[in-house]
Structure 1
Amino acid sequence: MLVAVARDPDTRVRDIAASIGITPRATLTILSDLESAGYLRRNRIGRRNEYTIDRHQPFRHPTIADHEIGELLRVLARTQGEDA
């Protein structure tokens, strides 16, 4: 979910759901959980939302808590045309 948001911060919930293969309701639940945990912020712009990921948040699991989610997103969320 974070990868989908990182690739397109103003994408619609139904588009995120379709790209991941889950329902829009499940997508809203996960986005809400991520927002509550501090991994992303939602900014309402008219009828749409724009999401901002806090790339400096550490992973929750203790074995990788010394890494930030931004490290993973840099690898996974590359858009077409970006250099490696």
Structure 2
Amino acid sequence: MTNHAHVLLCLAQGESLTARELSQLIGITERAVQAIVADLIADGYLDKSKEGRRNRYTVNPSGRLRHPLESAHTVGELIEALT
């Protein structure tokens, strides 16, 4: 799986994870996690809100997968299949 998928699956668990915690779980740099999260927000797969000083990310399960081979499926279907 891609690092984008790893970040998405980790955040789909519902825990409020920091970029540092995600980087340690996935095995990539914190900067890479920040770039991936920004990509996922820009593509509509994640929503971002503030909780005090922390960011909270919520997965948008109705987001459509981009690749033509998977475009008939949603993020929610992917998460359900992999968890």
Could you list the structure 1 runs, at least 4 aligned residues long, displaced by more than 3 angstroms after superposition: none
Given that 1:59 and 1:66 are in contact with CA atoms closer than 8 Å, whether structure 2 keeps it comes out as: yes
* Equivalent in 54, 62, 66 of residue 56 of structure 1: 62
**Post-superposition offset of 1:74:** 1.4
Bigger Rg, which one: 1
Under a length normalisation based on structure 2, what TM-score does the superposition of the two structures give? 0.86
Q: Number of matched residues?
A: 77
Q: Identify the residue that residue 4 of structure 1 maps to in structure 2.
A: 10
* Ranges in structure 2 where 5+ consecutive residues have no aligned partner: 1-6
CA RMSD of aligned residues (A): 1.1
* Ranges in structure 1 where 5+ consecutive residues have no aligned partner: 78-84
Q: Percent identity?
A: 38
Under a length normalisation based on structure 1, what TM-score does the superposition of the two structures give? 0.85
What is the rounded CA distance, in whole Å, between the counterparts of 2:42 and 2:63 in structure 1? Answer: 13
